[in-house]
Amino acid sequence: MSRNARAVGDSSPFVLAELMAWIKALGPYRWASNRLRSRGMTGRTAVISVPYLWLSLFFLVPFLIVFKISVSDIRLGMPPYDPLITWASAQVMELKVNLGNYAFLWEDALYRNAYANSILTAGISTILCLLIGYPMAYGIARSKPSWRNLLLLLVMLPFWTSFLLRVYAWIGILKNNGLINNLLMSMGVIDEPIVMLQTNFAVYLGIVYSYLPFMVLPLYTAIEKLDLTLLEAAADLGCRPVKAFFKITAPLTKGGIVAGSMLVFIPAVGEFVIPALLGGPGSLMIGRVLWEEFFNNRSWPIASAVAIAMLVVLVFPIWILQRVQGREMGAHR
Amino acid sequence: MANARQDHRSEPWKDPGATPYVRIDKITKKFGDFVAVDDVTLNIYRGEIFCLLGGSGCGKTTLLRMMAGFEAPTSGSISLDGVDVTAMPPYERPVNMMFQSYALFPHMTVQKNVAFGLHQDKLPKSEIDARVAEMLKLVRMEQFASRAPHQLSGGQRQRVALARSLVKRPKLLLLDEPLAALDKKLREHTQFELINIQETLGVTFVVVTHDQEEAMTLASRIGVMNHGEIVQVGTPTDIYEYPGSRFVADFIGSVNMFEGRLIEDEPDYVRVESEDLGGVFHVGHGVSAAPNATVWVALRPEKIHILRDRPEGEGDNRVAGVVSEIAYLGDQSIYLVRLAGGRQVRVTQPNILRQSGGGRISWDEQVWLTWDSSSPVVVTQ
């Protein structure tokens, strides 16, 4: 490369390289870099440590605080819980760990039902999303390449509007004097409004509607990668199309199915807004219980225990996800 | 290579009473306005290895895919062993295909891949196991039965794909560029293995290839395709020695093509005057063309003798030139000889004697080219 071209075209990397060479020549830089390297600290660890630092600061530390609150006693005042460590006298430190909050969660049917109901609701919603999302993703992945980006854009389009607004919009659609009921009544199909708002139906509808894109996108990626000649090979060997779907397409897009299901299931378990706005008294979900414990009962320790228990419930599916994904990575080069 | 084998083979296509096993009747396939396969009629006989040969986009793969049932013909019909299969979906046809990409199922082991087709027929497990084992033994892959496809080399995958497509004992096996993904040495070896397996099992093969050498080695007959049409069908010898058109002569092997004018037309010989050549061809076979018609003479490079001295006497089939290029390939040498009119002629000579410096023909040397009157082929189109 000529000196001229370097000066004009790649001026900034060139300058940067010069600068780096200059810094590297400095004594202090060399000293610091050697010291860090002797402790196993290279550029690579420095890069990796950034997300680790982020996660420990904004996930691990808050988690520990919440865990601490969950094992303390409730009290009136601010903050509304007893400290874990108190000084009985000048030398005696008292550590009080109250596991009663967790025992309470287990004993009270309200919480057990809320957990069971959350998992059930999230599970059914996930299956519904899968049943709706798979054909959608399949259709997009098999459409003309020029159409695909447009269709994907349409899947993601709702994200342009706030999640909360979209859920509120459903109230307007579903309520007794809302869009659907007014339309049906003006057409004379029904005489009385159908009660849809504040039912489980509305909760399922809300969750499926809100989380469908999270199902479609990973499924699309998985299906798009599927080699169509494999389906031809299956047909050639005497396999009918429906069977070929279950023998070839489904197993080879398993990664997408699992990822999509987790992306729907995990947030749906802890969902608060949708059951609060669209659900009725029957649709008791753990997110709502948590909210009520925290803001209505002002019982921070119970609310924290609810949160920690929910996390434990959710760790299991995440673990399955990681295992499946790990295996996929190993299997397909 | 292939010719010796054909001598002890029956040649059913020469017998007018023989019933074709695969009958392709006036098949046309259009994709929108594009005609991929244009009114092809073809008969393939039981036990043949039939090669469809042509450049990319000539319609050979489309024709194969219609035999497999992946594409529905726009018009025409295909029958196999007396049964019309034109409208039969691929999963019902007694036809199997070996895909160019092999299309092995990545989530199944070698054993499961091969067993897949048999499972579709709901055969008892013991029979499936026995047939899979037998097939894996035939392709020498029995010790790899529990491997996943991505743990195999290209050649091993090719053999698994072959086993999978043969295990159902199809009436017809379609092979789409079966050896294209293998390197040269392995390809040559595998060609003969394919022939052996075909002879052991007696399955009828239809092979699609763009590689003329592969077609020559494998085929009992070759169908040369161009622009969706079959331009010539014949044994490898027919296709090479008696090409019916300029396209076939040019596509198979290398050839020197001279344009000329028919000046003498007798039943057992013709004479063609060619400005290109700057001389007269005396061709030892008759031609069905009008006198003075423009014809083309195809002359294979290896059929030309290159001489230092002027051949004795006067006559046709001789021309003088100057050596402009020499390529020494070890087993043979290629000479490019420029004729007086400026035309380059390609000549290949086997290096029968070990070459040692002096004595051989060199650059810029004046040489004479001659050939036997049985060597050139006159084509009219």
Local confidence band at A12 (pLDDT 50, 70, 90 cut-offs): low
d(CA A224, CA A236) in angstroms, rounded, equals 21
pLDDT tens digit string along A275-285?
Answer: 989 988 877 88
Sign of CA dihedral B59, B63, B69, B75: positive
**Number of other CB atoms surrounding residue B288 within 10 Å:** 8
Give B260-322 as a 3 state SS string.
Answer: EEEEEECCCCEEEEECCCCEEEEECCCCCCCCCCEEEEEECHHHCEEECCCCCCCCCCEEEEE
Residues B240 and B266 in one domain: no
**Number of other CB atoms surrounding residue B198 within 10 Å:** 21
H or E segment to which residue B347 belongs: strand B344-350
Tokens of B166: 């043969």
User: What pLDDT shows up at residue A247?
Assistant: 94
Closest CA to B66 of B35, B27, B38: B27
In chain B, % of residues over pLDDT 90: 50
Q: Using an 8 Å CB-CB cutoff, list residues of chain A that contact chain B.
A: 227, 229-230, 232-241, 243, 247-248, 251-252, 331-333
pTM: 0.78
Inter-chain residue contact A238 with B106, CB threshold 8 Å:
no
For B169, nearest residue in chain A (alpha carbons):
A237
User: What pLDDT shows up at residue B27?
Assistant: 93
Closest CA to B253 of B205, B299, B313, B193: B299
Distance in Å, alpha carbon of B220 to nearest chain A alpha carbon: 25
CA geometry: angle A281, A287, A290, nearest 5 deg: 95
Residues B339 and B369 in one domain: yes
User: What pLDDT shows up at residue A8?
Assistant: 44
Q: Name every chain A residue with its beta carbon within 8 A of the beta carbon of B104.
A: 233
- Kindly report the average pLDDT of chain B as a whole number: 88
Under 8 Å CB-to-CB from B97, ≥6 apart: which residues? A232, A233, A236, B64, B68, B165, B173, B174, B175, B176
Name the domain boundary from B205, B229, B247.
B247
Interface test with B, best of A231, A236, A249 (most B CBs within 10 A): A236
H or E segment to which residue B156 belongs: helix B154-166
User: What pLDDT shows up at residue A64?
Assistant: 92
B249 φ/ψ angles, rounded to the nearest 5 degrees: -60, -40
CA distances to A75, A211, B236, B329, B345 from B332, rounded to whole Å, are 101, 70, 22, 5, 16
Collapse the DSSP code of A60 into the 3-class scheme (helix H, G, I; strand E, B; otherwise coil) and give the result: helix
Closest CA to B176 of B192, B165, B188, B160: B165
Closest CA to B298 of B315, B286, B281: B281
* Own/partner pairs, B345-354, CB within 8 angstroms, 24+ separation: B345/B256, B345/B304, B345/B319, B345/B321, B345/B369, B346/B254, B346/B256, B346/B301, B347/B301, B347/B304, B347/B306, B348/B301, B348/B302, B349/B302, B349/B305, B349/B306, B350/B302
A174 close to A180: Cβ distance less than 8 angstroms: yes
Nearest to B117 among A237, A248, A332 (CB): A237
Residues B47 and B178 in one domain: yes
pLDDT at B358 > cutoff 70: no
Q: Which CATH number characterizes residue B356's domain?
A: 2.40.50.140
Local confidence band at B147 (pLDDT 50, 70, 90 cut-offs): very high
Residues B19 and B130 in one domain: yes
Whether residue B170 lies within 8 A of chain A, CB to CB, comes out as no
B246 close to B299: Cβ distance less than 8 angstroms: no
pLDDT at A332 > cutoff 60: no
Residues B85 and B11 in one domain: yes
Inter-chain residue contact A331 with B68, CB threshold 8 Å:
no
| Residue-wise DSSP of A144-178 | -HHHHHHHHHHHHGGGGS-HHHHHHHHHHHHSTTS
d(CA A34, CA A18) in angstroms, rounded, equals 21
Residues B153 and B258 in one domain: no
Instruction: State mean pLDDT over B93-97.
Output: 94
For B163, nearest residue in chain A (alpha carbons):
A237
Q: Name every chain A residue with its beta carbon within 8 A of the beta carbon of B101.
A: 227, 229
Local confidence band at A2 (pLDDT 50, 70, 90 cut-offs): very low
d(CA A202, CA A176) in angstroms, rounded, equals 12
Residues B84 and B190 in one domain: yes
Nearest to B150 among A227, A241, A332 (CB): A332
Inter-chain residue contact A331 with B91, CB threshold 8 Å:
no
For A254, nearest residue in chain B (alpha carbons):
B107
d(CA A74, CA A290) in angstroms, rounded, equals 15
CA geometry: angle A116, A117, A119, nearest 5 deg: 65
Distance in Å, alpha carbon of A323 to nearest chain B alpha carbon: 16
Inter-chain residue contact B89 with A235, CB threshold 8 Å:
yes
pLDDT tens digit string along B101-143?
Answer: 999 999 999 999 999 999 999 999 999 999 999 999 988 899 9
Q: Name every chain B residue with its beta carbon within 8 A of the beta carbon of A226.
A: none
Local confidence band at A62 (pLDDT 50, 70, 90 cut-offs): very high
Residues B269 and B324 in one domain: yes
pLDDT tens digit string along A18-55?
Answer: 877 777 777 777 787 777 777 777 777 878 888 899 99
pLDDT at B1 > cutoff 50: no
DSSP secondary structure code for residue B80 in this structure: E
Instruction: State mean pLDDT over B67-90.
Output: 93
CA distances to A125, A140, A322, B377 from A218, rounded to whole Å, are 17, 12, 15, 62
Residues B123 and B208 in one domain: yes
Residue with tokens 């789409």: B176
**% helix, strand, coil for chain B, step of 5:** 30, 35, 40
| Residue-wise DSSP of A217-253 | HHHHHHHHHS-HHHHHHHHHTT--HHHHIIIIIHHHT
DSSP secondary structure code for residue A296 in this structure: I
DSSP secondary structure code for residue A77 in this structure: S
In chain B, % of residues over pLDDT 70: 96
Instruction: State mean pLDDT over B65-73.
Output: 94
Whether residue B175 lies within 8 A of chain A, CB to CB, comes out as no
For B68, nearest residue in chain A (alpha carbons):
A236
Mark out the alpha helices in chain A (DSSP H runs).
3-8, 11-25, 27-38, 43-55, 61-70, 100-107, 109-141, 145-156, 163-174, 179-186, 200-225, 228-236, 241-244, 250-252, 254-269, 273-278, 286-291, 300-331
B236 close to B222: Cβ distance less than 8 angstroms: yes
For B106, nearest residue in chain A (alpha carbons):
A332
Q: Which domain holds residue B80?
A: 2-247
Q: Name every chain B residue with its beta carbon within 8 A of the beta carbon of A328.
A: none
Collapse the DSSP code of B337 into the 3-class scheme (helix H, G, I; strand E, B; otherwise coil) and give the result: strand
Whether residue B155 lies within 8 A of chain A, CB to CB, comes out as no
Residues B204 and B298 in one domain: no
Name the domain boundary from B247, B270, B293.
B247
Local confidence band at A222 (pLDDT 50, 70, 90 cut-offs): very high
Structural domains in chain A, sorted by start: 1-41 (no CATH), 100-331 (1.10.3720.10)
pLDDT tens digit string along B189-209?
Answer: 888 888 888 888 889 999 999
Under 8 Å CB-to-CB from A162, ≥6 apart: which residues? none
Q: How many structural domains compose chain B? A: 2
| Number of Cβ pairs < 8 A linking chain A and chain B | 66
Range with the poorest average pLDDT among A27-31, A134-138, B75-79, B129-133: A27-31
pLDDT tens digit string along B300-329?
Answer: 999 998 888 888 767 778 888 999 989 988
d(CA A189, CA A255) in angstroms, rounded, equals 45
Q: Which CATH number characterizes residue B229's domain?
A: 3.40.50.300
Inter-chain residue contact A331 with B148, CB threshold 8 Å:
yes
For A248, nearest residue in chain B (alpha carbons):
B105
Name the domain boundary from B231, B247, B263.
B247
Collapse the DSSP code of B378 into the 3-class scheme (helix H, G, I; strand E, B; otherwise coil) and give the result: strand
Which residue type does A114 have? A
Nearest to A332 among B95, B103, B106 (CB): B106
pLDDT tens digit string along B248-258?
Answer: 998 888 899 98
Range with the poorest average pLDDT among A233-237, A325-329, B307-311: A325-329
Distance in Å, alpha carbon of A138 to nearest chain B alpha carbon: 19
Whether residue B99 lies within 8 A of chain A, CB to CB, comes out as yes
Q: Name every chain B residue with its beta carbon within 8 A of the beta carbon of A251.
A: 107
Residues B224 and B285 in one domain: no
Interface test with B, best of A237, A242, A245 (most B CBs within 10 A): A237
| Residue-wise DSSP of B19-65 | PPSEEEEEEEEEETTEEEEEEEEEEE-TT-EEEEE--TTSSHHHHHH
Local confidence band at B380 (pLDDT 50, 70, 90 cut-offs): confident
User: What pLDDT shows up at residue B357?
Assistant: 59
Residues B47 and B182 in one domain: yes
Whether residue B115 lies within 8 A of chain A, CB to CB, comes out as no
B228 close to B33: Cβ distance less than 8 angstroms: no
**Region for residue A324 given its phi and psi (left: phi exceeds 0; alpha: psi -120 to 50; beta: otherwise):** alpha
Residue with tokens 């091969």: B114
User: What pLDDT shows up at residue A329?
Assistant: 56
Task: Out of A126-140, A193-207, B129-143, give the one with best mean pLDDT.
Answer: A126-140
